[in-house]
């Protein structure tokens, strides 16, 4: 296996441009960037996927994309919402392929706990069906769709919070495994009180992306994670991505003294 890439995810709260974030990441000694499609869509100066690919070449970084997760639910029992959610994942797959990214991170959908059992069952079925449709599309595009383990939500049932649940979502989907892989989020595993090694034992090489952040076990806090090296050494992922709340937290995680880029769009704009 080639040396894994280590990088950071760009967040809408950062207020930076794609280029300034790529420069910052490389100044930190990292070589990968993950883009959340919604955040790219929300920025006033978002480059096209073609331009994102060109910038990645210029800065020598590899790319992954994160499919939408706000105002979105591919497990919705409303067929219109479900189809729209699938279409948005497919558009992200298209953008990823155009930019030269090889992985697209995706969430598995959810349903409120308070809803009746028949609705919850239908929603899970829909989530799995949507995932299969997206994975088939990913196979055509030559991109790997990477289903992420999520934190437990008190209000909503999510389908990927444990190794067993996540496995149940992907194991019966009829695409070669290289097109439907796993994103292991070690912060989510910790807040759910799962040893992340349980995911490694269950999925092994099928883990392509690993999200890095920390918490105290009480909430999904996305805190800096200076102890990340042990994860890099024990998880067989292709890329490791810091998912932080600020660019400064990425520097804190890697122990580098690099000034973060000035926000171009402030939180109040």
Partner 1 sequence: MTNRYEALIFDNDGVLVEPTDTAVLVDAVVEAFHAFGVDIDRSRARRTVENDFVPREIAAEHGIDPEAFWHYRELTASLAQQHHVLAGGKPVYEDVAALTRLDIPRAVVSNNQHATIEFLLAHHDLPAFEAAYGREPTLAGAAKRKPESDYIERALSDLGVENALYIGDSEKDLVAAHRAGIDSAFLRRDHVADIDLSTEPTIDVPSLHALTERLSAVEPEQQR
Which residues bind to partner 1, rule: CB under 8 A? 94, 128, 132, 136, 139-140, 142, 171-174, 176
By C-beta, is 32 or 120 nearer to partner 1? 120
Choose between 3 and 174: whose C-beta lies nearer to partner 1.
Answer: 174
Report how far residue 34's alpha carbon sits from residue 19's, in angstroms, rounded to the nearest whole number: 13
Taken in order 180, 181, 186, 191, is the CA torsion positive or negative? positive
Q: How far is the CB of 242 from partner 1 (least distance, A)?
A: 33
Q: How far is the CB of 115 from partner 1 (least distance, A)?
A: 22
What residues contact 191, with CB distance under 8 A and at least 6 apart?
151, 152, 215, 217, 218, 219, 220
Cα atoms in the Cβ-side hemisphere of radius 13 Å centred on 4: 20
Q: Which is nearer to partner 1, 113 or 125 (CB)?
A: 125
CB of 174 to partner 1, least distance (A): 4
For partner 1, the closer of residues 123 and 260 by Cβ is: 123
DSSP state of 44: T
- Hey, is 103 helix, strand or coil? strand
Q: How far is the CB of 221 from partner 1 (least distance, A)?
A: 36
Pull the structure tokens for residue 215.
């918490």
Provide the minimum distance between the beta carbon of 172 and partner 1 in the complex, in angstroms, as a whole number. Answer: 4
CB-nearer residue toward partner 1: 182 or 212: 182
Beta strands in the chain (DSSP E): 5-10, 32-36, 62-66, 103-106, 110-112, 144-148, 156-158, 180-185, 207-212, 239-242
Closest CA to 178 of 144, 205, 149: 144
Q: How far is the CB of 166 from partner 1 (least distance, A)?
A: 15
Please state whether beta strands 144-148 and 103-106 pair in parallel, antiparallel, or not at all (unpaired): parallel
Q: Which residue number, 117 or 174, has a Cβ lying nearer to partner 1?
A: 174
Q: What is the DSSP string of 176-196?
A: -GGGEEEEEEHHHHHHTT--H
């Amino acid at each position: 296996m080639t040396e894994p890439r280590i990088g950071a995810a760009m967040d809408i709260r950062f207020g930076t441009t794609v280029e300034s974030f790529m420069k910052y990441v490389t100044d930190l000694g990292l070589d990968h960037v993950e883009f959340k499609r919604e955040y790219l869509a929300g920025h006033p100066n978002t480059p096209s996927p073609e331009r994102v690919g060109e910038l990645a070449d210029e800065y020598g970084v590899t790319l992954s994309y994160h499919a939408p997760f706000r105002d979105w639910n591919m497990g919705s029992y409303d067929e219109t919402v479900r189809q729209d959610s699938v279409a948005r994942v497919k558009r992200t797959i298209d953008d990823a392929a155009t930019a030269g990214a090889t992985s697209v991170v995706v969430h598995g959908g959810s349903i409120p706990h308070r809803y009746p059992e028949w609705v919850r069952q239908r929603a899970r079925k829909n989530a799995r069906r949507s995932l299969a449709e997206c994975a088939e599309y990913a196979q055509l595009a030559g991109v790997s769709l990477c289903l992420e383990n999520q934190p437990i939500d008190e209000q909503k049932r999510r389908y990927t919070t444990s190794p067993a649940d996540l496995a149940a979502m992907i194991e019966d989907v009829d695409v070669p495994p290289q097109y439907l892989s796993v994103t292991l989020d070690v912060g989510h595993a910790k807040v759910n009180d799962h040893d992340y090694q349980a995911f490694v034992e269950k999925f092994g090489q099928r883990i392509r992306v690993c999200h890095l952040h920390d918490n105290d076990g009480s909430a999904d806090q996305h805190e800096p994670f200076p102890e990340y090296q042990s994860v890099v050494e024990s998880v067989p992922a292709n890329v490791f991505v810091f998912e932080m709340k600020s660019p400064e937290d990425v520097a804190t995680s890697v122990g580098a003294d690099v000034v973060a880029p000035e926000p171009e769009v402030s939180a109040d704009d």
